[in-house]
């Protein structure tokens, strides 16, 4: 049995909430959420997403935090300790590798956001229009130096935070960045709502056209619920391992889910009021932010300032998520290989940089290097987000429900002081049904669908 060194820990509950919220709010909430809502019919899709968050997102978040908190080790050690075998440990390793792979291409998109922030500061969007916006985006993203350079720069920023460890790095920086993000977001929402035809954007978000929801849309809503809460990739297990035994887990997780949801909705309001007020299309897909928003900002009063604020918002959100994707592998190196934090951070971020290079080149130099018409970036992001993230969440559910057993796991949720909702019997029923049955079945559906069987 391996004896672990004294583990780092969060300084306070607020610190944990800021870090976990920082992990949750990222490109998933700001870049992906608006465009999948735009493509899948607005309000009805949002409602479905909210149902999935409540039905399985919140319980699985509690499950992952509980696994980490109980074992006090990286996802590998945590799966092995609770599963009581090295085979469970291997499943833990899969989640660590998933987070690490995600961090490699996540940093590429985040790098583009950083590049766009610099362009916004330079005022490059001031004369952009519908024709030039897309070609502008294409010329930047296909430039090897631009893409790889900003990918590198972004990782340097993240590594310099991770260098300082859990309290002085992740917690301290998240505690500054999350309120800043809220302020910037509120400015953009107020601006959006005061635009001439902002009601069109709001109507789109509130429209409940259930006939617009396709089976694929259902799965996208489900996948979004996992991805946005950073589940299935070792992140929340690792963050849980820094939580003290006296902390009430559901009470600490609830604000994370609530605020993350609120922030996604506010981002939706900001983006759609701005997009609709310019009579632009909401369903332009992944390039919505890169292509559509610069056009709108170019026409708006204070557009330059607003575009700077917007890309600051995205970059902050991406930094606090990227560090959370790298932390599981760092904690693995520290726990299992006895590396110092500095060494672990340098190895993990250099690895993410190198693995990310083919993703960064997928839109230029390696554009024609495709398998089934998909480039390297498409393939690696598709499999990690759509296959390995649900699998990782499934492993956590199976571990708790069928190996550890819900009843025993539940005892570890109890704390000395007055318990939050889980003192009520209804909560244990909800938790049990969700983790043991609903989550597993829904995840199997996603996987069968991805593999083309369902």
Q: Rule CB under 6 A: which residues touch ligand PHE?
A: 23-24, 26-29, 99, 102, 106, 227-228, 230, 233, 235, 321, 324-325
State the minimum distance, in angstroms, from the CB of residue 329 to ligand PHE: 11
Closer residue to ligand PHE, CB minimum distance, 137 or 227: 227
State the minimum distance, in angstroms, from the CB of residue 402 to ligand PHE: 26
Residue 86 token pair: 């090295």
Residue 115 token pair: 């590049």
Closer residue to ligand PHE, CB minimum distance, 31 or 427: 31
Cα→Cα distances 200→195, 203, 235, 274, 307, Å:
10, 5, 38, 10, 21
- The residue number with the shortest CB distance to ligand PHE is 28
State the minimum distance, in angstroms, from the CB of residue 170 to ligand PHE: 12
Residue carrying the six token digits 């809220």: 182
State the minimum distance, in angstroms, from the CB of residue 174 to ligand PHE: 13
Largest CA distance in the chain: 65
Closer residue to ligand PHE, CB minimum distance, 119 or 327: 327
Cα→Cα distances 72→68, 98, 360, 448, Å:
6, 20, 35, 33
- C-alpha neighbours within 13 Å on the C-beta side of residue 209: 13
Closer residue to ligand PHE, CB minimum distance, 109 or 309: 109
State the minimum distance, in angstroms, from the CB of residue 102 to ligand PHE: 4
Closer residue to ligand PHE, CB minimum distance, 198 or 331: 331
Alpha-carbon torsion, ordered 370, 372, 376, 377, to 10 deg: 120
State the minimum distance, in angstroms, from the CB of residue 92 to ligand PHE: 16
State the minimum distance, in angstroms, from the CB of residue 30 to ligand PHE: 8
Q: What is the 3-state secondary structure (H, E, C) of 294-316?
A: HHHHHHCCCHHHHHHHHHHHHHH
State the minimum distance, in angstroms, from the CB of residue 318 to ligand PHE: 7
Q: What is the full DSSP assignment across 338-402?
A: ---HHHHHHHHHHHHHHHHHHHHTTTTTTTT--BTTB-HHHHHHHIIIIIIHHHHHHHHHHIIII
Closest CA to 83 of 403, 436, 332, 407: 403
Closer residue to ligand PHE, CB minimum distance, 133 or 391: 391
Positive or negative, the Cα torsion across 432, 434, 438, 440?
Answer: negative
User: 121 φ, ψ to 5°?
Assistant: -65, -40
Residue carrying the six token digits 């429900």: 401
Residue 123 token pair: 């005022």
State the minimum distance, in angstroms, from the CB of residue 224 to ligand PHE: 9
Closer residue to ligand PHE, CB minimum distance, 303 or 390: 390
Residue 220 token pair: 């996208």
State the minimum distance, in angstroms, from the CB of residue 33 to ligand PHE: 8
Closer residue to ligand PHE, CB minimum distance, 29 or 277: 29
Closer residue to ligand PHE, CB minimum distance, 125 or 310: 310
Closer residue to ligand PHE, CB minimum distance, 233 or 375: 233
Alpha-carbon torsion, ordered 358, 361, 365, 366, to 10 deg: 50
CA–CA separation, 169 and 163 (whole Å): 7
Contact 364, 142 (CB under 8 A): yes
């Amino acid at each position: 049995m391996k004896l672990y060194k004294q583990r780092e820990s969060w300084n306070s509950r607020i610190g944990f909430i800021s870090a976990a919220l920082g992990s949750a709010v990222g490109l998933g909430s700001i870049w992906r959420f608006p465009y999948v809502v735009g493509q899948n019919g607005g309000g009805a899709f949002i409602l479905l997403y909210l149902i999935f968050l409540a039905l399985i997102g919140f319980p699985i978040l509690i499950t992952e935090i509980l696994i980490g908190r109980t074992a006090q080790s990286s996802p590998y050690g945590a799966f092995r300790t609770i599963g009581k075998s090295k085979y469970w440990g291997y499943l833990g390793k899969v989640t660590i590798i998933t987070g690490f792979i995600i961090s490699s291409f996540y940093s590429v998109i985040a790098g583009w956001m950083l590049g766009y922030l610099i362009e916004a500061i330079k005022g490059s969007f001031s004369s952009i229009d519908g024709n030039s916006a897309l070609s502008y985006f294409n010329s930047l993203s296909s430039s090897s130096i631009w893409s790889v350079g900003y990918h590198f720069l972004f990782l340097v920023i993240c590594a310099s935070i991770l260098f300082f460890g859990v309290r002085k790095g992740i917690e301290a920086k998240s505690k500054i960045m999350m309120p800043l993000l809220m302020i910037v977001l509120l400015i953009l929402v107020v601006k959006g709502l005061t635009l001439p035809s902002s009601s069109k954007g709001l109507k789109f978000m509130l429209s409940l056209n259930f006939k617009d929801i396709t089976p694929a849309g259902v799965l996208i809503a489900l996948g979004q619920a996992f991805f946005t809460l950073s589940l299935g990739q070792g992140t929340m297990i690792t963050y849980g391992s820094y939580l003290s035994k006296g902390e009430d887990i559901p009470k600490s997780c609830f604000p994370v889910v609530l605020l993350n949801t609120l922030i996604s909705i506010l981002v939706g309001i900001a983006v759609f009021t701005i997009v609709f007020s310019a009579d632009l299309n909401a369903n332009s897909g992944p390039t919505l932010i890169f292509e559509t928003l610069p056009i709108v900002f170019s026409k708006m009063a204070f557009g330059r300032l607003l575009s700077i604020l917007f890309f600051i918002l995205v970059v902050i959100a991406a930094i606090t998520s990227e560090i959370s994707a790298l932390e599981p592998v760092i904690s693995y190196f520290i726990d299992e290989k006895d590396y110092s934090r500095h060494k672990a951070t340098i190895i993990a971020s250099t690895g993410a940089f190198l693995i990310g290079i083919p993703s960064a080149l997928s839109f230029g130099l390696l554009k024609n290097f495709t398998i089934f018409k998909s480039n390297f970036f498409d393939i690696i992001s598709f499999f990690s987000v759509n296959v390995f993230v649900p699998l990782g969440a499934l492993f956590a559910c199976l571990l708790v429900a069928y190996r550890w057993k819900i009843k025993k796991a539940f005892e570890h949720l109890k704390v000395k002081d007055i318990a939050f909702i889980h003192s009520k019997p209804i909560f244990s029923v909800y938790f049990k049904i969700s983790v043991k049955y609903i989550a597993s079945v829904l995840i199997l559906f996603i996987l069968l669908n991805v593999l083309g069987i369902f």
